[in-house]
A and B are shown apart, each in its own frame.
Chain A
Amino acid sequence: MGMKETESTTPIDAPGAPQAGTPLPGGGTSARPEGSGGLFGSGGPTFLTTRLDWVINWSRRNSLWPMPFGTACCAIEMMASAASNYDLARFGMERMSFSPRQADVLICAGRVPYKLAPVLRRIYDQMMQPKWVISMGACASSGGIFDNYSMVQGIDTIVPVDVYIPGCPPRPEGLIYGLMMVQEKIREERLSDHTVNRAEDPLAAGHPRASAPEIEGLTGPFGNSTRQNRLSGLVRTSRISRPDDRRP
Protein backbone atom coordinates (compact mmCIF):
# COMPACT_ATOMS: atom_id res chain seq x y z
CA MET A 1 0.00 0.00 0.00
CA GLY A 2 2.85 2.29 0.70
CA MET A 3 4.11 1.73 -2.83
CA LYS A 4 0.81 2.90 -4.23
CA GLU A 5 0.94 6.14 -2.31
CA THR A 6 4.39 6.78 -3.63
CA GLU A 7 3.21 6.31 -7.17
CA SER A 8 0.24 8.60 -6.88
CA THR A 9 2.39 11.44 -5.74
CA THR A 10 4.90 11.02 -8.58
CA PRO A 11 3.92 12.58 -11.92
CA ILE A 12 4.46 9.73 -14.31
CA ASP A 13 5.20 11.87 -17.35
CA ALA A 14 7.71 14.00 -15.55
CA PRO A 15 11.31 13.71 -16.68
CA GLY A 16 12.92 10.73 -15.22
CA ALA A 17 9.72 8.87 -14.46
CA PRO A 18 9.12 6.88 -17.69
CA GLN A 19 12.16 4.71 -17.33
CA ALA A 20 10.06 2.48 -15.17
CA GLY A 21 7.45 2.07 -17.86
CA THR A 22 7.05 -0.64 -20.51
CA PRO A 23 7.96 0.42 -24.07
CA LEU A 24 5.05 0.30 -26.43
CA PRO A 25 5.32 -0.68 -30.13
CA GLY A 26 4.87 2.88 -31.26
CA GLY A 27 7.53 4.22 -29.04
CA GLY A 28 5.08 5.19 -26.32
CA THR A 29 5.34 4.35 -22.71
CA SER A 30 2.94 2.62 -20.43
CA ALA A 31 1.99 4.45 -17.32
CA ARG A 32 2.03 1.25 -15.39
CA PRO A 33 5.32 0.71 -13.60
CA GLU A 34 6.72 -2.75 -13.55
CA GLY A 35 5.73 -4.84 -10.64
CA SER A 36 2.48 -3.10 -9.89
CA GLY A 37 0.54 -5.99 -11.49
CA GLY A 38 -3.11 -6.22 -12.30
CA LEU A 39 -5.10 -4.34 -14.91
CA PHE A 40 -5.12 -0.70 -15.81
CA GLY A 41 -6.87 1.10 -13.06
CA SER A 42 -6.12 -1.46 -10.47
CA GLY A 43 -3.26 0.52 -9.16
CA GLY A 44 -1.47 3.59 -10.33
CA PRO A 45 -2.30 6.33 -12.77
CA THR A 46 -4.32 5.13 -15.75
CA PHE A 47 -2.95 6.90 -18.79
CA LEU A 48 -0.18 6.30 -21.25
CA THR A 49 1.90 8.46 -23.48
CA THR A 50 2.67 7.75 -27.12
CA ARG A 51 3.39 9.49 -30.38
CA LEU A 52 0.38 11.22 -31.91
CA ASP A 53 1.36 9.86 -35.34
CA TRP A 54 1.35 6.34 -34.09
CA VAL A 55 -1.97 6.41 -32.29
CA ILE A 56 -3.75 8.18 -35.12
CA ASN A 57 -2.40 5.79 -37.74
CA TRP A 58 -3.22 2.87 -35.48
CA SER A 59 -6.83 3.95 -35.15
CA ARG A 60 -7.17 4.74 -38.85
CA ARG A 61 -5.77 1.52 -40.15
CA ASN A 62 -7.80 -0.64 -37.82
CA SER A 63 -11.15 0.86 -38.68
CA LEU A 64 -11.02 1.09 -42.46
CA TRP A 65 -14.55 1.13 -43.77
CA PRO A 66 -14.66 0.10 -47.42
CA MET A 67 -16.89 1.75 -49.98
CA PRO A 68 -17.67 -1.14 -52.34
CA PHE A 69 -17.84 -0.10 -55.97
CA GLY A 70 -18.52 -3.52 -57.41
CA THR A 71 -19.37 -3.69 -61.10
CA ALA A 72 -18.45 -7.21 -62.16
CA CYS A 73 -17.23 -10.62 -61.07
CA CYS A 74 -14.58 -9.10 -58.79
CA ALA A 75 -17.47 -7.93 -56.65
CA ILE A 76 -18.45 -11.55 -56.04
CA GLU A 77 -15.01 -12.18 -54.59
CA MET A 78 -15.32 -8.99 -52.57
CA MET A 79 -18.60 -10.25 -51.11
CA ALA A 80 -16.93 -13.57 -50.33
CA SER A 81 -14.17 -11.66 -48.55
CA ALA A 82 -16.74 -9.95 -46.38
CA ALA A 83 -18.59 -13.18 -45.62
CA SER A 84 -17.78 -15.43 -42.72
CA ASN A 85 -15.18 -17.69 -44.36
CA TYR A 86 -12.70 -14.85 -44.89
CA ASP A 87 -14.30 -12.20 -42.70
CA LEU A 88 -12.86 -8.79 -43.51
CA ALA A 89 -14.11 -7.60 -40.14
CA ARG A 90 -11.08 -9.23 -38.55
CA PHE A 91 -8.97 -6.45 -40.05
CA GLY A 92 -11.24 -3.61 -39.05
CA MET A 93 -13.36 -3.46 -42.19
CA GLU A 94 -16.26 -3.90 -39.89
CA ARG A 95 -18.93 -3.18 -42.43
CA MET A 96 -19.25 -2.16 -46.03
CA SER A 97 -20.12 1.50 -46.02
CA PHE A 98 -22.51 2.01 -48.87
CA SER A 99 -22.32 5.75 -48.39
CA PRO A 100 -19.14 7.46 -49.59
CA ARG A 101 -19.45 10.02 -46.79
CA GLN A 102 -18.65 7.46 -44.11
CA ALA A 103 -16.13 5.41 -46.08
CA ASP A 104 -12.35 5.38 -45.84
CA VAL A 105 -11.25 3.13 -48.68
CA LEU A 106 -12.84 2.84 -52.09
CA ILE A 107 -12.67 -0.70 -53.47
CA CYS A 108 -13.24 -0.53 -57.21
CA ALA A 109 -14.01 -4.14 -58.07
CA GLY A 110 -14.67 -4.78 -61.71
CA ARG A 111 -14.59 -3.15 -65.09
CA VAL A 112 -15.55 0.49 -65.40
CA PRO A 113 -17.05 1.62 -68.71
CA TYR A 114 -16.76 5.22 -69.80
CA LYS A 115 -20.40 5.77 -68.98
CA LEU A 116 -19.65 4.88 -65.36
CA ALA A 117 -16.49 6.99 -65.15
CA PRO A 118 -18.24 10.17 -63.93
CA VAL A 119 -20.06 8.10 -61.30
CA LEU A 120 -16.79 6.68 -59.99
CA ARG A 121 -15.19 10.12 -59.99
CA ARG A 122 -18.13 11.63 -58.14
CA ILE A 123 -18.10 8.92 -55.49
CA TYR A 124 -14.39 9.49 -54.96
CA ASP A 125 -14.94 13.23 -54.68
CA GLN A 126 -17.69 12.67 -52.14
CA MET A 127 -15.49 10.63 -49.82
CA MET A 128 -14.00 12.36 -46.81
CA GLN A 129 -10.29 12.75 -46.30
CA PRO A 130 -8.29 10.76 -45.51
CA LYS A 131 -9.26 8.27 -48.19
CA TRP A 132 -7.59 5.46 -50.03
CA VAL A 133 -8.43 3.64 -53.24
CA ILE A 134 -7.96 -0.03 -54.10
CA SER A 135 -8.13 -1.08 -57.72
CA MET A 136 -9.24 -4.70 -57.57
CA GLY A 137 -8.66 -6.97 -60.52
CA ALA A 138 -7.22 -6.68 -64.00
CA CYS A 139 -10.10 -4.71 -65.50
CA ALA A 140 -10.11 -1.95 -62.92
CA SER A 141 -6.32 -1.72 -62.97
CA SER A 142 -5.69 -1.76 -66.71
CA GLY A 143 -8.89 -2.43 -68.62
CA GLY A 144 -8.01 -6.11 -68.69
CA ILE A 145 -9.16 -7.96 -71.76
CA PHE A 146 -11.56 -5.15 -72.61
CA ASP A 147 -9.32 -3.07 -74.81
CA ASN A 148 -12.28 -1.63 -76.67
CA TYR A 149 -14.32 1.46 -77.32
CA SER A 150 -16.35 1.43 -74.14
CA MET A 151 -13.94 0.63 -71.33
CA VAL A 152 -11.79 2.81 -69.10
CA GLN A 153 -8.20 1.60 -69.44
CA GLY A 154 -7.42 1.59 -65.74
CA ILE A 155 -9.25 3.64 -63.15
CA ASP A 156 -6.04 5.47 -62.29
CA THR A 157 -6.85 7.72 -65.21
CA ILE A 158 -9.95 8.76 -63.25
CA VAL A 159 -8.95 8.64 -59.58
CA PRO A 160 -5.63 8.18 -57.76
CA VAL A 161 -5.06 4.57 -56.74
CA ASP A 162 -3.10 3.37 -53.72
CA VAL A 163 -3.04 -0.40 -54.19
CA TYR A 164 -3.55 -2.48 -57.33
CA ILE A 165 -4.63 -6.09 -56.86
CA PRO A 166 -3.87 -8.37 -59.80
CA GLY A 167 -6.07 -11.30 -60.71
CA CYS A 168 -9.07 -12.07 -62.80
CA PRO A 169 -10.71 -12.01 -60.36
CA PRO A 170 -8.39 -11.97 -57.34
CA ARG A 171 -9.20 -14.47 -54.67
CA PRO A 172 -10.41 -13.15 -51.31
CA GLU A 173 -6.92 -13.70 -49.94
CA GLY A 174 -5.70 -11.28 -52.60
CA LEU A 175 -8.16 -8.60 -51.57
CA ILE A 176 -7.31 -9.09 -47.92
CA TYR A 177 -3.62 -8.83 -48.75
CA GLY A 178 -4.31 -5.62 -50.64
CA LEU A 179 -6.20 -4.18 -47.72
CA MET A 180 -3.33 -5.11 -45.42
CA MET A 181 -1.01 -3.27 -47.80
CA VAL A 182 -3.21 -0.22 -47.39
CA GLN A 183 -2.85 -0.68 -43.66
CA GLU A 184 0.92 -0.82 -44.05
CA LYS A 185 0.77 2.35 -46.11
CA ILE A 186 -1.21 4.09 -43.38
CA ARG A 187 1.32 2.89 -40.80
CA GLU A 188 4.05 4.81 -42.59
CA GLU A 189 2.15 8.08 -42.81
CA ARG A 190 3.27 11.09 -40.82
CA LEU A 191 1.10 13.94 -39.70
CA SER A 192 3.79 16.35 -40.84
CA ASP A 193 3.26 15.11 -44.39
CA HIS A 194 -0.47 15.14 -44.11
CA THR A 195 -1.05 18.36 -45.98
CA VAL A 196 1.17 17.12 -48.77
CA ASN A 197 -0.34 13.65 -48.98
CA ARG A 198 -3.91 14.77 -48.69
CA ALA A 199 -3.80 17.96 -50.71
CA GLU A 200 -6.67 18.08 -53.16
CA ASP A 201 -7.33 20.72 -55.70
CA PRO A 202 -11.05 21.49 -55.62
CA LEU A 203 -10.86 22.39 -59.28
CA ALA A 204 -9.66 18.86 -60.04
CA ALA A 205 -12.97 17.37 -59.02
CA GLY A 206 -14.68 15.73 -61.94
CA HIS A 207 -11.62 15.83 -64.19
CA PRO A 208 -9.26 13.09 -65.36
CA ARG A 209 -6.46 12.47 -62.94
CA ALA A 210 -3.92 11.59 -65.59
CA SER A 211 -2.73 13.89 -68.32
CA ALA A 212 -3.60 13.28 -71.93
CA PRO A 213 -0.18 11.90 -72.98
CA GLU A 214 -0.22 9.66 -69.95
CA ILE A 215 -3.57 8.20 -70.94
CA GLU A 216 -2.42 7.81 -74.52
CA GLY A 217 0.60 5.86 -73.34
CA LEU A 218 -1.62 3.28 -71.68
CA THR A 219 -2.91 1.85 -74.93
CA GLY A 220 -0.20 1.01 -77.37
CA PRO A 221 -0.78 -1.10 -80.45
CA PHE A 222 -0.46 -4.34 -78.52
CA GLY A 223 -2.80 -6.99 -77.24
CA ASN A 224 -5.52 -6.29 -79.70
CA SER A 225 -6.92 -9.59 -80.79
CA THR A 226 -8.56 -8.42 -83.98
CA ARG A 227 -5.74 -6.14 -85.08
CA GLN A 228 -8.09 -3.28 -85.36
CA ASN A 229 -7.00 0.13 -84.42
CA ARG A 230 -8.50 3.54 -84.47
CA LEU A 231 -7.44 4.19 -88.05
CA SER A 232 -8.73 1.01 -89.59
CA GLY A 233 -12.13 0.52 -91.05
CA LEU A 234 -13.32 -1.98 -93.57
CA VAL A 235 -16.13 -0.16 -95.24
CA ARG A 236 -16.31 3.56 -94.98
CA THR A 237 -19.93 4.50 -95.25
CA SER A 238 -21.36 7.94 -95.41
CA ARG A 239 -23.70 7.15 -92.52
CA ILE A 240 -20.86 7.20 -90.04
CA SER A 241 -19.91 10.75 -90.69
CA ARG A 242 -23.36 12.20 -91.00
CA PRO A 243 -23.94 15.07 -88.64
CA ASP A 244 -26.87 13.38 -86.87
CA ASP A 245 -24.54 10.79 -85.42
CA ARG A 246 -22.31 13.39 -83.88
CA ARG A 247 -24.63 14.57 -81.23
CA PRO A 248 -23.08 17.14 -78.93
Chain B
Amino acid sequence: MTDDTPFDAVAAGPRPSDAHDPELGGHPAEVPDHPSVTALRATFGDAIRAHQLHAGDENVVFVDPAALYAVLEFLQQDPDQRYDYLLDLTAVDYGAGTPIQVVYQLWSLGFHRMLRVKVELPLDALEVDSVEPLWKTADWLEREVWDLFGVTFRGHPDLRRILMPANYAEGHPLRKDFPLRGRFSRAEQTRRALALEVDDNYTVLERELGAEPQIVPAAPAGEPDDGRGSDDTMKGE
Protein backbone atom coordinates (compact mmCIF):
# COMPACT_ATOMS: atom_id res chain seq x y z
CA MET B 1 0.00 0.00 0.00
CA THR B 2 1.34 3.37 -0.93
CA ASP B 3 -1.37 5.32 0.83
CA ASP B 4 0.20 8.28 2.52
CA THR B 5 -3.00 9.34 4.13
CA PRO B 6 -6.37 7.79 4.72
CA PHE B 7 -7.58 10.52 2.45
CA ASP B 8 -5.83 8.89 -0.54
CA ALA B 9 -7.80 5.73 0.05
CA VAL B 10 -10.93 7.79 -0.27
CA ALA B 11 -9.61 9.36 -3.44
CA ALA B 12 -8.83 5.96 -4.91
CA GLY B 13 -12.49 5.15 -4.90
CA PRO B 14 -14.14 1.82 -4.23
CA ARG B 15 -12.11 -1.30 -3.76
CA PRO B 16 -12.68 -3.95 -6.44
CA SER B 17 -14.84 -5.86 -4.05
CA ASP B 18 -17.16 -6.95 -6.84
CA ALA B 19 -14.43 -9.04 -8.42
CA HIS B 20 -14.36 -12.70 -7.66
CA ASP B 21 -11.57 -13.55 -5.26
CA PRO B 22 -11.65 -17.19 -4.19
CA GLU B 23 -9.15 -16.63 -1.37
CA LEU B 24 -11.30 -13.96 0.18
CA GLY B 25 -14.47 -15.84 -0.57
CA GLY B 26 -15.77 -13.11 -2.82
CA HIS B 27 -18.70 -13.14 -5.10
CA PRO B 28 -19.04 -16.27 -7.20
CA ALA B 29 -18.84 -15.82 -10.92
CA GLU B 30 -21.88 -18.02 -11.38
CA VAL B 31 -24.83 -16.46 -9.66
CA PRO B 32 -27.57 -18.97 -8.96
CA ASP B 33 -30.98 -18.05 -10.24
CA HIS B 34 -33.26 -16.06 -8.05
CA PRO B 35 -36.97 -16.38 -8.89
CA SER B 36 -37.58 -12.64 -8.62
CA VAL B 37 -34.59 -11.80 -10.81
CA THR B 38 -35.74 -14.27 -13.43
CA ALA B 39 -39.15 -12.64 -13.47
CA LEU B 40 -37.60 -9.18 -13.61
CA ARG B 41 -35.44 -10.08 -16.58
CA ALA B 42 -38.44 -11.52 -18.38
CA THR B 43 -40.50 -8.42 -17.74
CA PHE B 44 -38.04 -5.54 -18.03
CA GLY B 45 -35.24 -6.94 -20.17
CA ASP B 46 -32.30 -4.56 -20.43
CA ALA B 47 -33.49 -2.32 -17.62
CA ILE B 48 -32.10 -4.98 -15.30
CA ARG B 49 -28.42 -4.19 -15.60
CA ALA B 50 -26.74 -6.68 -13.35
CA HIS B 51 -27.37 -9.37 -10.80
CA GLN B 52 -24.73 -10.01 -8.15
CA LEU B 53 -24.39 -12.06 -5.05
CA HIS B 54 -22.93 -10.14 -2.11
CA ALA B 55 -21.77 -11.58 1.21
CA GLY B 56 -22.74 -15.10 0.32
CA ASP B 57 -26.46 -14.93 -0.22
CA GLU B 58 -27.49 -11.32 -0.72
CA ASN B 59 -29.04 -10.97 -4.15
CA VAL B 60 -28.36 -7.52 -5.52
CA VAL B 61 -30.03 -6.25 -8.67
CA PHE B 62 -28.80 -3.12 -10.42
CA VAL B 63 -31.64 -1.33 -12.19
CA ASP B 64 -31.85 1.45 -14.75
CA PRO B 65 -32.93 4.57 -12.80
CA ALA B 66 -35.57 5.36 -15.41
CA ALA B 67 -37.25 2.01 -14.81
CA LEU B 68 -36.85 1.98 -11.06
CA TYR B 69 -40.41 2.84 -10.10
CA ALA B 70 -41.88 0.28 -12.53
CA VAL B 71 -39.53 -2.40 -11.23
CA LEU B 72 -40.35 -1.76 -7.61
CA GLU B 73 -44.04 -1.53 -8.35
CA PHE B 74 -43.85 -4.87 -10.11
CA LEU B 75 -41.95 -6.39 -7.18
CA GLN B 76 -44.51 -5.13 -4.71
CA GLN B 77 -47.71 -5.92 -6.56
CA ASP B 78 -47.03 -8.99 -8.67
CA PRO B 79 -48.76 -11.93 -6.97
CA ASP B 80 -45.65 -14.07 -7.42
CA GLN B 81 -43.33 -11.50 -5.84
CA ARG B 82 -45.24 -9.51 -3.18
CA TYR B 83 -42.31 -7.59 -1.70
CA ASP B 84 -44.60 -5.79 0.70
CA TYR B 85 -42.00 -4.65 3.22
CA LEU B 86 -39.37 -2.02 2.51
CA LEU B 87 -36.76 -2.91 5.11
CA ASP B 88 -34.47 -0.01 4.37
CA LEU B 89 -33.79 2.71 1.89
CA THR B 90 -30.39 4.29 1.98
CA ALA B 91 -27.55 5.45 -0.23
CA VAL B 92 -23.82 4.85 -0.59
CA ASP B 93 -21.19 7.23 -1.91
CA TYR B 94 -17.96 5.43 -2.80
CA GLY B 95 -16.19 8.69 -3.56
CA ALA B 96 -13.84 9.75 -6.36
CA GLY B 97 -16.70 10.83 -8.52
CA THR B 98 -18.29 7.41 -8.78
CA PRO B 99 -22.06 7.33 -8.94
CA ILE B 100 -24.06 7.41 -5.75
CA GLN B 101 -25.93 4.17 -5.20
CA VAL B 102 -29.43 4.28 -3.78
CA VAL B 103 -30.24 1.01 -2.07
CA TYR B 104 -33.68 -0.53 -1.61
CA GLN B 105 -33.77 -3.50 0.73
CA LEU B 106 -36.94 -5.48 0.16
CA TRP B 107 -38.51 -8.32 2.07
CA SER B 108 -41.42 -10.47 0.99
CA LEU B 109 -43.48 -11.46 3.99
CA GLY B 110 -45.42 -14.03 1.99
CA PHE B 111 -42.52 -15.78 0.27
CA HIS B 112 -39.85 -15.17 2.95
CA ARG B 113 -37.60 -13.77 0.28
CA MET B 114 -35.12 -10.91 0.37
CA LEU B 115 -33.92 -8.79 -2.52
CA ARG B 116 -31.69 -5.74 -2.71
CA VAL B 117 -32.33 -3.32 -5.55
CA LYS B 118 -29.77 -0.66 -6.38
CA VAL B 119 -29.73 2.27 -8.76
CA GLU B 120 -26.60 4.14 -9.69
CA LEU B 121 -27.02 7.88 -10.03
CA PRO B 122 -24.20 9.98 -11.51
CA LEU B 123 -23.33 13.04 -9.46
CA ASP B 124 -24.72 15.42 -12.04
CA ALA B 125 -28.11 13.69 -12.20
CA LEU B 126 -29.04 12.84 -8.64
CA GLU B 127 -32.72 12.33 -9.23
CA VAL B 128 -34.95 9.29 -9.00
CA ASP B 129 -38.63 8.56 -8.59
CA SER B 130 -40.03 8.49 -5.09
CA VAL B 131 -41.41 5.15 -3.94
CA GLU B 132 -43.46 6.76 -1.22
CA PRO B 133 -46.71 5.77 -3.04
CA LEU B 134 -45.65 2.12 -2.75
CA TRP B 135 -44.31 2.03 0.81
CA LYS B 136 -45.25 4.78 3.24
CA THR B 137 -42.08 4.19 5.21
CA ALA B 138 -40.12 5.56 2.28
CA ASP B 139 -41.32 9.04 3.26
CA TRP B 140 -38.81 9.62 6.04
CA LEU B 141 -36.15 7.36 4.54
CA GLU B 142 -36.11 9.39 1.35
CA ARG B 143 -36.00 12.58 3.36
CA GLU B 144 -32.94 11.22 5.12
CA VAL B 145 -31.25 10.30 1.84
CA TRP B 146 -32.00 13.73 0.44
CA ASP B 147 -30.75 15.39 3.60
CA LEU B 148 -27.43 13.55 3.74
CA PHE B 149 -26.70 12.75 0.08
CA GLY B 150 -28.68 15.27 -1.93
CA VAL B 151 -30.60 12.75 -3.97
CA THR B 152 -33.83 14.33 -5.16
CA PHE B 153 -36.88 12.09 -5.15
CA ARG B 154 -39.43 13.05 -7.76
CA GLY B 155 -42.97 13.06 -6.42
CA HIS B 156 -42.04 13.01 -2.76
CA PRO B 157 -44.78 14.76 -0.78
CA ASP B 158 -42.55 16.60 1.69
CA LEU B 159 -38.88 16.58 0.75
CA ARG B 160 -37.05 18.56 3.42
CA ARG B 161 -34.32 17.99 5.95
CA ILE B 162 -34.94 15.46 8.67
CA LEU B 163 -31.65 15.00 10.55
CA MET B 164 -29.79 18.24 9.96
CA PRO B 165 -31.26 21.52 11.25
CA ALA B 166 -33.88 23.16 9.10
CA ASN B 167 -31.64 26.15 8.34
CA TYR B 168 -28.62 24.04 7.41
CA ALA B 169 -27.12 25.51 4.25
CA GLU B 170 -23.77 23.77 3.85
CA GLY B 171 -24.89 20.97 1.55
CA HIS B 172 -25.26 17.26 2.13
CA PRO B 173 -22.78 16.05 4.72
CA LEU B 174 -22.47 12.33 4.02
CA ARG B 175 -21.14 12.90 0.53
CA LYS B 176 -17.48 12.07 0.09
CA ASP B 177 -16.82 15.50 -1.41
CA PHE B 178 -18.15 17.17 1.73
CA PRO B 179 -15.37 18.51 3.99
CA LEU B 180 -15.45 16.86 7.36
CA ARG B 181 -15.82 20.06 9.36
CA GLY B 182 -18.44 21.57 7.13
CA ARG B 183 -18.17 24.53 4.83
CA PHE B 184 -18.81 27.40 7.24
CA SER B 185 -16.58 28.60 10.01
CA ARG B 186 -17.21 27.35 13.52
CA ALA B 187 -18.42 30.76 14.60
CA GLU B 188 -20.88 30.90 11.74
CA GLN B 189 -22.07 27.38 12.47
CA THR B 190 -22.63 28.28 16.11
CA ARG B 191 -24.40 31.48 15.19
CA ARG B 192 -26.70 29.69 12.75
CA ALA B 193 -27.44 26.92 15.23
CA LEU B 194 -28.52 29.36 17.91
CA ALA B 195 -30.46 31.49 15.47
CA LEU B 196 -32.77 28.55 14.88
CA GLU B 197 -35.93 28.32 16.92
CA VAL B 198 -36.54 24.76 18.03
CA ASP B 199 -40.01 24.87 16.52
CA ASP B 200 -38.55 25.66 13.11
CA ASN B 201 -37.60 22.01 12.68
CA TYR B 202 -41.25 21.03 12.55
CA THR B 203 -44.12 21.73 10.21
CA VAL B 204 -47.35 23.27 11.40
CA LEU B 205 -48.98 19.84 11.45
CA GLU B 206 -46.19 18.33 13.50
CA ARG B 207 -46.41 21.17 15.99
CA GLU B 208 -50.15 20.58 16.31
CA LEU B 209 -49.50 16.93 17.05
CA GLY B 210 -47.34 17.93 19.97
CA ALA B 211 -49.76 20.51 21.33
CA GLU B 212 -52.31 20.20 24.10
CA PRO B 213 -54.35 17.00 23.98
CA GLN B 214 -57.70 17.42 22.39
CA ILE B 215 -60.84 16.48 24.27
CA VAL B 216 -62.88 14.09 22.24
CA PRO B 217 -66.58 14.93 22.60
CA ALA B 218 -68.72 12.30 24.23
CA ALA B 219 -70.81 10.07 22.02
CA PRO B 220 -74.49 10.97 21.73
CA ALA B 221 -76.76 9.14 24.14
CA GLY B 222 -78.50 7.17 21.44
CA GLU B 223 -75.42 5.40 20.17
CA PRO B 224 -74.55 2.05 21.67
CA ASP B 225 -71.39 1.71 23.68
CA ASP B 226 -68.59 0.50 21.44
CA GLY B 227 -66.86 -1.13 24.38
CA ARG B 228 -63.85 1.16 24.31
CA GLY B 229 -64.97 2.94 27.43
CA SER B 230 -65.17 6.67 27.88
CA ASP B 231 -64.26 9.35 30.34
CA ASP B 232 -66.72 9.57 33.21
CA THR B 233 -66.57 13.32 33.37
CA MET B 234 -67.62 13.52 29.76
CA LYS B 235 -70.68 11.36 30.44
CA GLY B 236 -71.98 13.91 32.93
CA GLU B 237 -72.39 16.58 30.32
Question: Chain A interface (Cβ within 8 Å of chain B)?
Answer: 114-115, 117-119, 121-122, 147-150, 152-153, 157-158, 206-208, 210-213, 215-216, 218-219, 224-240, 245-248
CA distance A233 to B178 in the complex (A): 6
Identify the stretch in B17-25, B130-138, B159-167, B220-228 within 8 Å (CB) of chain A at 4 or more residues: B159-167
Pair A228/B7 contact, Cβ less than 8 Å: yes
| Across-interface contacts of A248 in B (CB, < 8 A) | 167, 169
Contact of B186 among A219, A228, A236 (CB under 8 A): A219
> Which residues of chain B from 134 to 183 have a CB within 8 Å of any chain A CB?
150, 160-161, 164-173, 175-183
Binding site secondary structure of chain B: loop
| A118-B197, A158-B194, A216-B186 known; A234-B124 Cβ under 8 A | no
Contact of A233 among B173, B177, B192 (CB under 8 A): B177
A-B CB pair tally, cutoff 8 Å: 137
A74 to chain B, nearest CB (A): 21
**Does B5 interact with chain A (Cβ within 8 Å)?**
yes
Pair A234/B10 contact, Cβ less than 8 Å: yes
Binding site secondary structure of chain A: loop
**Does B39 interact with chain A (Cβ within 8 Å)?**
no
| Across-interface contacts of A122 in B (CB, < 8 A) | 198
Given A149-B170, A153-B186, A212-B191, 11 new contacts (CB under 8 A): A114-B192, A115-B196, A148-B181, A149-B180, A229-B180, A229-B181, A232-B179, A234-B177, A237-B123, A245-B172, A247-B166
A247 nearest in chain B by CB position: B169
**Does B97 interact with chain A (Cβ within 8 Å)?**
yes
Pair B198/A119 contact, Cβ less than 8 Å: yes
| A149-B170, A226-B6 known; A231-B198 Cβ under 8 A | no
**Does B72 interact with chain A (Cβ within 8 Å)?**
no
CA distance A237 to B100 in the complex (A): 13
- Contact sample, A vs B, 6 pairs, CB 8 Å cutoff: A115-B196, A158-B190, A212-B191, A215-B190, A235-B177, A245-B171
> Which residues of chain B from 189 to 237 have a CB within 8 Å of any chain A CB?
189-194, 196-198, 201
| Across-interface contacts of A114 in B (CB, < 8 A) | 165, 189-190, 192-193
| Across-interface contacts of A208 in B (CB, < 8 A) | 187, 190-191, 194
**Does B96 interact with chain A (Cβ within 8 Å)?**
yes
Q: Which 10 A-B pairs rank lowest in CB-CB distance, beginning with the nearest? A: A149-B182, A212-B187, A114-B193, A228-B180, A117-B193, A215-B187, A246-B169, A235-B177, A237-B123, A235-B97
Pair B194/A118 contact, Cβ less than 8 Å: yes
| Across-interface contacts of A234 in B (CB, < 8 A) | 10-11, 95-97, 176-177
